[in-house]
Amino acid sequence: MGQGALALVVGPSGAGKDTLLAAAKTALAGDERFVFPRRVVTRAAMAELEDHDTIDRAGFERARERGAFALDWEAHGLCYGIPAEIEQSVADGRVVVVNTSRKLVGPALAKYPRCVVLLVTATPEIRAQRLVGRGREAPAEIAARLAREAPPIPPGVEAVTIDNSGTLEAGTTNFIEALKRLAG
């Protein structure tokens, strides 16, 4: 196997990060070069839309204190964690692919020498349709989410941009190609 790496999948709500991750995970099943760990989140998962383990806030804090997370962050009143097991996967030469926040890019780059940002984007109209389709938020909350400015990617960090405004097949192809380039 090649040199291990961390692929940080970032982008605005509704861009289709979870959808692309699920499609890539299925397409790359059996390819030992790739690992798609489940995040730990303090929100119940919608099975058809998200792939994460749910934990309450107190349990998250206990897990963080005992070193259960390689990386963790808070956003929108929720806590997110990437399991510490990714350390071994990166050391073993695998590409670890995680859905994360832009505000975690700096700390991840400091911790992982080979770290790449995959920025998934989509037009505001497409994102609005997807957010409505989730059924998780009221129209005013969706409007606020669409209007919110995402934190910038740190200066000097190049991101591979994947426009996911078109078909699932096109977005998935571009996403998988980016991952394969990373794996070498």
Of the candidates 49, 56, 45, the one whose C-alpha atom is nearest the C-alpha of residue 79 is 56
Domains of the chain: 5-183 (3.40.50.300)
Tokens of 111: 């911790």
Tokens 């489940």, residue located: 38
Give CA–CA dist 51/46, Å, rounded.
8
The pLDDT, as a whole number, for residue 148 is 76
pLDDT tens digit string along 17-35? 989 999 999 999 999 999 9
Q: Which pLDDT band, with edges at 50, 70 and 90, does 47 fall under?
A: very low
The pLDDT, as a whole number, for residue 50 is 54
Of the candidates 35, 82, 51, 40, the one whose C-alpha atom is nearest the C-alpha of residue 179 is 35
Predicted model pTM: 0.86
- The answer to whether residue 45 scores a pLDDT higher than 60 is no
- The answer to whether residue 165 scores a pLDDT higher than 90 is yes
Neighbouring C-beta atoms of residue 27, cutoff 10 Å: 15
Read off the pLDDT of each residue in 147-176 and give the average, rounded to a whole number: 87
User: Residue 160 phi/psi, 5° resolution?
Assistant: -90, 115
Query: Which 3 state secondary structure label does DSSP give 114?
Result: coil
CA angle (10 as vertex; 20, 95 as ends), nearest 5: 70
| pLDDT, averaged across the chain | 87
Strands 95-99, 34-35: parallel, antiparallel or unpaired by DSSP?
A: parallel
